[in-house]
């Protein structure tokens, strides 16, 4: 792809119609930290870039009793600085905080991370753990899809070429709920997850887990929800046996590949360890 044209509309509908009427391949751009790199690939196919960063509703947020409604193009630097959001979804905040570096976070967005749909994207397991929904606008109006169904393959999602993710909506968690996200990388930063796990747990007054969601990343073609891992936690006090069972369920649900970043056995094992550790962090946050 080679960037041949650039448009910066001021509303989502305008952006959608630019996509619908484009005479060449068209892509929307949030931070561009994935898109710009991809546009430098060998083929010279012309590309229209539709910049979302001039659309105010793509960058704002509301946190209400209902939950969080997030403009998907808000950059991670801004997102991770939202103390009110962090208080409710600390795991999602820490996932966004892991992306790249300070410089990268000045551009990169949660929506871009989701729409790029890499199996290793850090925010996706955290979004899944929080039961996030994607609000999508297309020429025929809006539709809503849960994050775990939004991603469909390596770099693939359910968006049509003329659709835009216009909102990420996350329900307000029940009292006694907290989340956590952990990833494994060989370095400390500037790396891509070899495995990732987002866990949300709800505890009752005596510390028993009444609900849980577990999302895992980088260990299958898409990040995925692991109901069996959640089931292993529900009804327990997140004791070692329950945590081991959740870890085992996550390892079993994973379907990794061997590549330059890790082997099948390594990823399977490590994703379980991450689920266990993230559950413990979520637990202490929920109690805290």
Partner 1 sequence: MSEAQDYKYIGQRTIRPDGFDKVTGRASYGADLSLPGMIWGKTLRSPHAHARITRLDTSKAEAMPGVLAVAVHSDFAAVSDEAIQAGEGSANLIDLASNILAKNKVLYHGHAVAAVAAKTEALAEQALALIEVEYEVLPPVMTALAAMAADAPVLHDDMFTTGLEETPDKASNIANRVEFKIGDVEAGFAEADVIVEGTYKTPTCHQGYIEPHACTVRYDEDGQSMIWCCTQGHFDVRTSTAKLLGMELSKLKVVASEIGGGFGGKTTVYQEPVALILSKKSGRPVKMVMDRDEVQLATGPTSASHNWVKIGARKDGTITAMQGKFIYEAGAFKGSPVMMGCMTAFTPYEVPNLYAEGFDVVVNKPKVAAYRAPGAPQGEFAAEMAVNELAAKLGMDPIELRLKNAAKEGTQTIYGPKFKRVGLVECLEAARDSEHYKAALAENQGRGVASGFWFNVGGQSSVVINMNPDGTGTIVEGSPDIGGSRASMQMMAAEELGIPLEKLKPIVADTEMLAYSQGTGGSRTTFATGMAVIEAAQDVVRQLKERAAALWNVTAEQVDYADGVAYNTAGEDKMTCAEICSKADRTGGQITGRGNINARGAGPSFAVHICDLEVDPETGKTDVIRYTAIQDAGKAIHPSYVEGQLQGGAVQGIGWALNEEYVYSPEGKLENMGFLDYRIPVASDLPMIDTVVIEVPNAFHPFGVRGVGESGIIPPLAAVGTAAANAIGTHVTELPLSPPRVLKLVQEKG
**CB 185, min distance to partner 1, A:** 9
Q: Of the two residues 183 and 276, which places its CB atom closer to ligand FAD in the complex?
A: 183
**CB 72, min distance to ligand FAD, A:** 4
Would you say how long the chain is, in residues? 288
**CB 39, min distance to ligand FAD, A:** 9
CA 218 and chain centroid, separation: 12
**CB 104, min distance to ligand FAD, A:** 5
Residue 151 forms beta bridges with which residues? Answer: 157
Q: What angle do CA 238, 243, 244 make, to 5 degrees?
A: 150
Q: Which stretch binds partner 1 (CB under 8 A): 45-53, 191-199, 221-229, 248-256?
A: 191-199
Q: Of the two residues 121 and 275, which places its CB atom closer to ligand FAD in the complex?
A: 121
Give yes or no for a contact between 114 and 121, defined as CB atoms under 8 angstroms apart: yes
**CB 108, min distance to ligand FAD, A:** 4
Residues 267-286 touching partner 1, rule: CB under 8 A, are 269-270, 273
Would you give the DSSP letter of residue 148?
H
Q: Of the two residues 137 and 178, which places its CB atom closer to ligand FAD in the complex?
A: 137
Could you give the C-alpha distances from 78 to 15, 70, 111, 115, 209, in angstroms and in order? 23, 12, 13, 19, 32
What is the helix (H) or strand (E) element at residue 128, kind and residue range? helix 123-129
The first and second tokens of residue 10, run together, are 């001021």
Residue 5 forms beta bridges with which residues? Answer: 48
CB atoms within 10 A of CB 259: 10
Q: Of the two residues 185 and 242, which places its CB atom closer to ligand FAD in the complex?
A: 185
* Whole-number Å distance between alpha carbons of 242 and 57: 42
Q: Of the two residues 92 and 286, which places its CB atom closer to ligand FAD in the complex?
A: 92
Nearest 5°: phi and psi at 152?
-125, -10
**CB 33, min distance to partner 1, A:** 13
Q: Give the end-to-end CA distance of the chain in Å, rounded to a whole number.
A: 49
| 281: helix, strand or coil | helix
Answer yes or no whether residue 5 interacts with partner 1 by CB under 8 A: no
Which does residue 198 touch among ligand FAD, partner 1, none (CB within 5 to 8 A, set by kind)?
none
- In the complex, the residues that contact ligand FAD under the rule CB under 6 A are 27-35, 52, 72-73, 98-100, 104, 107-109, 111-113, 115-116, 121-122, 159, 164-165, 192
Contact positions vs partner 1 (CB under 8 A): 2, 42, 44, 184, 186-192, 194, 259-263, 265-266, 269-270, 273
């Amino acid at each position: 792809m080679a960037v041949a044209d650039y448009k910066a509309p001021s509303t989502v509908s305008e952006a959608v119609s630019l996509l619908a009427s484009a005479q060449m391949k068209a892509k929307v751009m949030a931070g561009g930290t994935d898109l710009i790199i991809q546009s430098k690939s060998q083929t010279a196919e012309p590309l229209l870039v539709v910049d979302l960063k001039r659309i105010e509703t793509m960058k704002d947020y509301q946190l209400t009793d209902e939950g969080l409604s997030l403009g998907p193009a808000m950059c991670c630097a801004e997102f991770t600085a939202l103390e009110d959001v962090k208080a409710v979804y600390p795991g999602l905040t820490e996932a966004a905080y892991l992306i790249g570096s300070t410089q990268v976070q000045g551009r990169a967005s949660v929506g871009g991370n989701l729409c790029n749909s890499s199996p290793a994207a850090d925010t996706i397991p955290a979004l899944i753990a929080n039961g996030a929904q994607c609000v999508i606008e297309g020429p025929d109006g809006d539709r809503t899809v849960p994050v775990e169904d939004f991603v469909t393959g390596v770099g693939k999602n359910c968006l049509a070429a003329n659709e835009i993710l216009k909102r990420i909506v996350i329900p307000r968690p029940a009292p006694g709920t907290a989340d956590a996200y952990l990833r494994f990388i060989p370095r400390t930063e500037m790396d891509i997850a070899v495995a990732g796990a987002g866990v949300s747990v709800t505890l009752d007054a005596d510390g028993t887990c009444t609900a849980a969601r577990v999302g895992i990343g980088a260990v299958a073609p898409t990040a995925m929800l692991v109901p069996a891992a959640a089931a292993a936690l529900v009804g327990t006090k997140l004791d070692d046996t329950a945590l081991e069972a959740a870890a085992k369920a996550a390892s079993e649900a994973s379907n990794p590949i061997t590549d330059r970043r890790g082997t099948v056995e390594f990823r399977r094992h490590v994703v379980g360890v991450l689920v266990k550790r993230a559950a413990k962090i979520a637990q202490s946050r929920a109690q805290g």
